[in-house]
Amino acid sequence: MLGYSLTELCIEGPENKLNQTQFTQPALYCVSYMAGQAKLGEGLVPCAAAGHSVGEFAALASAEAISFSDGLRMVAKRGEIMSKVVGGGMAAVIGLDPDGIKAVLTENKLNKIDLANFNSPNQVVISGPATEIEDSVKVLKEAGAKLVVPLKVSGAFHSWMMQAPSQEFSSFIEAFSFSLPKFPVIANVKASPYSSIEEIPALLVKQMHSSVLWTATIQSIRASGVTDFVECGPGNVLTKLLRQIP
C-alpha cells in the first residue's frame, strides 16, 4: 500500500528518513494501532480513546470509525501533503503559560507563530516559520520560560501554514467511508467526543491547521469518570504529560 517496507524503515532506518513526516506519520499510525490492538486482544475494554495529532487516526481505527487500511491511506496522504510545506518549525516551551507566551510573541512582533499543542499546563508547543521560531527562543527564555526546545520535525504542523495542505487533504478524504466510533473518541480540535459521522472528516481536516487541545482532552476524559489511562504507541511521552495535567 505504501510502496516501501515500513518494518524495514522502522527497524533499520535510516533515522533521517524516518524523521521526515511523510514516513513518520504512517509509522506512528501503524505502531500505535498495533499496540492498541494488542491491548484489546488482552481483554481491555476502553471507555474512551484519544490520539495526539496523527494518533487520532489510530484512535478512530481502534474504535472502528475507519478501517485500518483506510486510515493508513489517509495518514500517508496527510504526511505527503504536509511534507510539501517547507520553511517551518516547532518548539516546546516549558515553564511559561499560554497567555505569557502569546504576550511575548506579540511584544516581539513574532506574529506568524501559532500555539500548536497545549500538551500540559507546563508545556506548550509553538509552530510557524523556522526563522521566527529561532528568534523566539531567546525572548521566551528571557520572559521566564525554563526551556525552549526546538523539535525534530520537518514542518510547522498545527499552524496557519497547514491551511492550504488541509484543503487538499479535504478533497482526498471525501472518497472514504466513516462510521460512528464503537466507543467515544475525543477530537483534538474541540476536546470532546465526535458526535456524528459527518464530523469525523471535517475535524480531521481542521486538525491539520488547528491546535491540539491535549490538556483539555485529558480533563474531558477524566470528567467522564475515567481513572485509568493506557498509552498505546512508541515511548511514554503522553504518560509523562498525563502526570502534569490536574
Active site residues: 53, 158
Question: How far apart (Å, rounded) are the C-alpha atoms in residues 122 and 145?
Answer: 10
Q: Are 203 and 187 in contact (CB under 8 A)?
A: yes
Tell whether the torsion through CA atoms of 200, 66, 60 and 23 is positive or negative: negative
The CA-atom distances, in angstroms, between 202 and each of 77, 178, 189 are: 16, 11, 10
Question: How far apart (Å, rounded) are the C-alpha atoms in residues 121 and 114?
Answer: 17
Half-sphere exposure of 177 (CA within 13 A, CB side): 5
The CA-atom distances, in angstroms, between 106 and each of 22, 70, 126, 163 are: 32, 41, 13, 22
Q: Where are the beta strands (DSSP E) in 46-181?
A: 49-50, 88-94, 114-120, 123-129, 147-150
In sequence order, what are the beta bridge partners of 125? 92, 117
